[in-house]
Structure 1
Amino acid sequence: MAGTVNSADRRRAIVAAVYRVLERDGLEGATMRRIAAEAGCTTGSVTHHFADRRELLDATVGAAVEESMARLVATTRREGLRAGLAEMLPLDGHRRQELAVWLVGVQAAARDPELAARLSLRYAAAQDVLVAELHARLSDRADAGAQDAEALDLLADEVLSAVDGVAVYAVSDPARYPPERQLALVDRVLRRTGLA
């Protein structure tokens, strides 16, 4: 039993190292040797847990998507939609790393159909989460009957696309997009879509 826990812990530590390496060095710099050094282990340990760089990248992107979506849902339920969407923004160091991982996953998927298919499935799952949250939020409104599945899907796409755009701009130009500007832009999106 302890071996299983240690193995899971080691995988998490390696994935956390990939977060840091990707943010600092980008996709090209994320070599197995550099990741192993960042994780404080050997490349043999990395390849023991992940068959190759593709599997490691896929696991890392998957962890970033799952973690951010879990936070989005939990925070939305606890504090509201605005706070939940803020979980997708690079407002602190961890979320900047997470976004760097997501962007590297998108970059890698552009050249790797298998990674693209898995990223698409994960993004569809994120879309489903947001549609469910929007449906629950809109069910209390008087015009809830007018919100068919296609309208909710489009609304979720609109909100996700806008927040993703804010996040990418914020990573690209942090001086122009400090946290308060990022949140102000999310507020504008929510007002424009009638979700504020």
Structure 2
Amino acid sequence: MLLYPVFGIFLTGVIMMYVVIDPVKALNEGLKHWLSGMGTANLVLLGAVLGGMMAVDMGGPINKAAYTFGLAMIEAGNFAPHAAIMAGGMVPPLGLALATTFFKKKFTKAEREAGKTCYIMGASFITEGAIPFAAADPVRVIPSIIVGSAVAGALTMWFHIGLPAPHGGIFVIPIVKGSAWLYILAILIGSIVTALMVGLWKKEVEE
């Protein structure tokens, strides 16, 4: 109970120090130079891809792959990708919260109540708030949140927004690089796109 954790942590530290750090550092530098050489159109496309990835599985492996990439870019000094990633991660719960508010007949009473919680979860960058809605109606909800998140991610790149904070949702908006108002606008537009798609696509429920 004592030795296994100690040696396990020691071995992990040795591997990180002498095996992992140099290749990852080289990869980060390469990504940094690649991103700095991209034109606006390519950056917008990258933002759409990263934003959309955040909504595909709402906290699963694809979501985490995008998030990890964003963290690596922060470490490399490029804050734009993570701005797109956080915007994309906030949109699914926020979009569904708006949908439950403005398309009440399309949701059960329990879903409308859950929608109120999604306002808080979305504002806090907790994408998992969308999971119950996606599980209940994956065919309509998942494409809607992916599109909304992709729109938000693309817009953050278009607006040249950067974010040096790894987490925080609305609480870190004051420290964004670029216009905080445009960042909020990008998130709102993406959320509205999701809300409209879900609201128009879903059928009315019978309670």
**TM-score category by the smaller chain?**
0.3 to 0.5
Structure of higher RCO (CA pairs closer than 8 Å, 6+ residues apart):
2
When normalised by structure 1's length, the TM-score is 0.37
